[in-house]
Amino acid sequence: MMHVARQGRTKVADTEQVAASLLKLARADKGLSQRALAAAAEVPHSTVARIESGAMQPTLPLLYRLLAAAGLEPRIRLEPYDDHDDVLDTLAEEFPDRQQQMGAARDDMVTALRGTTRHAG
Protein backbone atom coordinates (compact mmCIF):
# COMPACT_ATOMS: atom_id res chain seq x y z
CA MET A 1 0.00 0.00 0.00
CA MET A 2 1.29 3.47 -0.88
CA HIS A 3 1.86 5.97 1.94
CA VAL A 4 0.14 9.31 1.43
CA ALA A 5 1.71 12.25 3.22
CA ARG A 6 -0.41 14.65 5.22
CA GLN A 7 1.21 18.02 5.65
CA GLY A 8 1.43 19.41 9.16
CA ARG A 9 0.68 23.02 10.06
CA THR A 10 4.25 24.28 9.52
CA LYS A 11 4.50 22.88 6.00
CA VAL A 12 0.98 24.07 5.14
CA ALA A 13 1.86 27.59 6.32
CA ASP A 14 5.09 27.54 4.31
CA THR A 15 3.30 26.23 1.22
CA GLU A 16 0.72 29.02 1.42
CA GLN A 17 3.56 31.57 1.25
CA VAL A 18 5.38 30.12 -1.78
CA ALA A 19 3.82 32.42 -4.40
CA ALA A 20 4.24 35.51 -2.20
CA SER A 21 7.88 34.67 -1.54
CA LEU A 22 8.63 33.95 -5.20
CA LEU A 23 7.17 37.27 -6.34
CA LYS A 24 8.99 39.23 -3.64
CA LEU A 25 12.28 37.55 -4.55
CA ALA A 26 11.69 38.13 -8.27
CA ARG A 27 10.95 41.81 -7.74
CA ALA A 28 13.95 42.27 -5.46
CA ASP A 29 16.23 40.46 -7.92
CA LYS A 30 15.08 42.65 -10.82
CA GLY A 31 14.60 45.87 -8.83
CA LEU A 32 10.91 46.10 -9.72
CA SER A 33 8.10 47.70 -7.76
CA GLN A 34 4.77 45.94 -7.45
CA ARG A 35 3.32 48.44 -9.91
CA ALA A 36 6.10 47.88 -12.46
CA LEU A 37 5.71 44.10 -12.27
CA ALA A 38 1.93 44.37 -12.59
CA ALA A 39 2.27 46.66 -15.62
CA ALA A 40 4.76 44.33 -17.30
CA ALA A 41 2.46 41.33 -16.71
CA GLU A 42 -0.61 43.35 -17.72
CA VAL A 43 -2.47 42.66 -14.47
CA PRO A 44 -3.87 45.09 -11.91
CA HIS A 45 -1.44 46.30 -9.23
CA SER A 46 -3.90 44.97 -6.65
CA THR A 47 -3.33 41.43 -7.96
CA VAL A 48 0.40 41.56 -7.19
CA ALA A 49 -0.24 43.23 -3.83
CA ARG A 50 -2.83 40.62 -2.83
CA ILE A 51 -0.57 37.71 -3.82
CA GLU A 52 2.40 39.13 -1.92
CA SER A 53 0.29 39.76 1.18
CA GLY A 54 -1.05 36.20 1.11
CA ALA A 55 -4.63 37.37 0.55
CA MET A 56 -4.71 35.64 -2.86
CA GLN A 57 -3.28 32.40 -4.18
CA PRO A 58 -2.53 32.70 -7.90
CA THR A 59 -3.11 29.95 -10.41
CA LEU A 60 0.10 28.46 -11.81
CA PRO A 61 -0.43 30.16 -15.19
CA LEU A 62 -0.79 33.55 -13.48
CA LEU A 63 2.29 32.95 -11.32
CA TYR A 64 4.31 31.93 -14.40
CA ARG A 65 3.07 35.04 -16.23
CA LEU A 66 4.13 37.32 -13.37
CA LEU A 67 7.54 35.71 -13.09
CA ALA A 68 8.03 35.88 -16.87
CA ALA A 69 7.27 39.61 -16.69
CA ALA A 70 10.26 39.84 -14.32
CA GLY A 71 12.39 37.91 -16.81
CA LEU A 72 12.36 34.73 -14.76
CA GLU A 73 11.11 31.21 -15.34
CA PRO A 74 10.20 28.87 -12.49
CA ARG A 75 11.40 25.29 -12.66
CA ILE A 76 9.51 22.66 -10.70
CA ARG A 77 11.23 19.48 -9.58
CA LEU A 78 9.59 16.60 -7.73
CA GLU A 79 11.42 15.19 -4.72
CA PRO A 80 10.52 12.57 -2.11
CA TYR A 81 8.35 14.04 0.64
CA ASP A 82 10.39 15.31 3.60
CA ASP A 83 8.35 14.94 6.80
CA HIS A 84 10.83 16.78 9.05
CA ASP A 85 8.48 19.69 9.80
CA ASP A 86 5.55 17.32 10.26
CA VAL A 87 7.51 15.35 12.88
CA LEU A 88 8.33 18.58 14.71
CA ASP A 89 4.65 19.64 14.60
CA THR A 90 3.63 16.28 16.06
CA LEU A 91 6.18 16.59 18.87
CA ALA A 92 4.98 20.12 19.61
CA GLU A 93 1.40 18.85 19.89
CA GLU A 94 2.41 15.93 22.12
CA PHE A 95 4.61 18.03 24.41
CA PRO A 96 3.15 21.57 24.47
CA ASP A 97 4.88 22.49 27.76
CA ARG A 98 8.28 21.58 26.32
CA GLN A 99 7.50 23.58 23.18
CA GLN A 100 6.69 26.64 25.32
CA GLN A 101 9.94 26.21 27.29
CA MET A 102 11.96 25.98 24.09
CA GLY A 103 10.20 29.04 22.66
CA ALA A 104 10.94 31.03 25.82
CA ALA A 105 14.60 29.94 25.73
CA ARG A 106 14.82 30.97 22.08
CA ASP A 107 13.28 34.37 22.87
CA ASP A 108 15.72 34.88 25.76
CA MET A 109 18.65 34.04 23.49
CA VAL A 110 17.47 36.46 20.79
CA THR A 111 17.04 39.20 23.40
CA ALA A 112 20.53 38.54 24.76
CA LEU A 113 22.03 38.57 21.26
CA ARG A 114 20.31 41.83 20.41
CA GLY A 115 21.74 43.38 23.55
CA THR A 116 25.21 42.15 22.60
CA THR A 117 25.03 43.52 19.06
CA ARG A 118 23.82 46.94 20.23
CA HIS A 119 26.90 47.38 22.41
CA ALA A 120 29.34 45.89 19.91
CA GLY A 121 29.44 49.01 17.70
Q: Where residue 101 falls among pLDDT bands split at 50, 70, 90?
A: confident
Length of the chain: 121
Q: How far is CA 96 from CA 83, 93, 102, 103, in A?
A: 20, 6, 10, 10
Which class does domain 9-69 fall in? mainly alpha
User: Where exactly are the structural domains of the chain?
Assistant: 9-69, 84-119
Q: Where residue 3 falls among pLDDT bands split at 50, 70, 90?
A: low
Q: Where residue 27 falls among pLDDT bands split at 50, 70, 90?
A: very high
Q: pTM of the entire structure?
A: 0.67
pLDDT for 38-88, tens place per residue? 999 999 999 999 999 999 999 999 999 999 999 999 999 998 888 888 888
Please tell me the predicted confidence (pLDDT) of residue 18.
Answer: 92
| CB 63 within 8 Å of CB 22 | yes
* DSSP 8-state class, residue 43: S
Distance CA 53, CA 32 (A): 16
